Amino acid sequence: MRRIGFAIFAILLGLCTAANIARAGDAEAWSALRAGGHVALMRHADAPGGFGDPPGFKVEDCATQRNLSAKGRADALRIGARLRSEGVGLATILSSPWCRCIDTATLLQLGPVKTAPTFGNVVVLRDQREALTSGARAVIEQWTGSGNLLIVTHGANIQALTGIQPASGEIVVVRGGSGGGREAVGRLMLD
């Protein structure tokens, strides 16, 4: 009986520690974004259907891709409102050419969105993974703006850049400039 009680205590302690680490990551991420000069890597909002896209999909035809769910659309609107209410300044918004990323970036309502092919889906374009990741790193390392750069892309792309596999709608904040994109400053779960 004592072992069971100890096991339950250890589990609860672990959960509390994880929650405290997450809150610390939140605080650091918000502080970095308010200060400016950082890069926010956001995984597109909820788009059901697993990884990748259906066979025969076309990047230029949204009807052939996985798209945002109603929840994903609502989450994107809510995340944009939260970023505005927190006073986060964005100088530029880039998006993967995939419709679920463009839609997420547009629904945030934070400014004009430019597509950047180097943030295309590295799962689907696995034969181009190294070139895409290298191009993405170059964009991040060249970021020196006083505002922040927001990039809406895919979970696998963010994992290739940072080692973190984000949830749908999660934002991983990294430093811009030389060495940027390799180490997370913090993470934000806003949905």
CA distance 191 to 79: 7
**Phi, psi for 165 (deg, rounded to 5):** -100, 100
Q: Could you say which architecture CATH assigns to the domain 2-188? A: 3-Layer(aba) Sandwich (3.40)
Beta bridge partner(s), residue 40 = 150, 173
CA distance 121 to 132: 9
Beta bridge partner(s), residue 173 = 40, 186
CA distance 124 to 67: 15
The reported pLDDT for the residue numbered 52 is 78
The domain spans of the chain are 2-188
The reported pLDDT for the residue numbered 100 is 97
The reported pLDDT for the residue numbered 24 is 42
The amino acid present at 99, given as its one-letter code, is: C
Q: Average pLDDT by consecutive 10-residue portion of the chain (191 residues)? A: 46 37 69 95 93 87 95 98 95 97 98 97 93 96 91 97 96 85 87 64
The reported pLDDT for the residue numbered 16 is 36
What sign results for the dihedral spanned by CA atoms 129, 159, 150, 76? positive
The reported pLDDT for the residue numbered 64 is 94
CA distance 77 to 73: 6
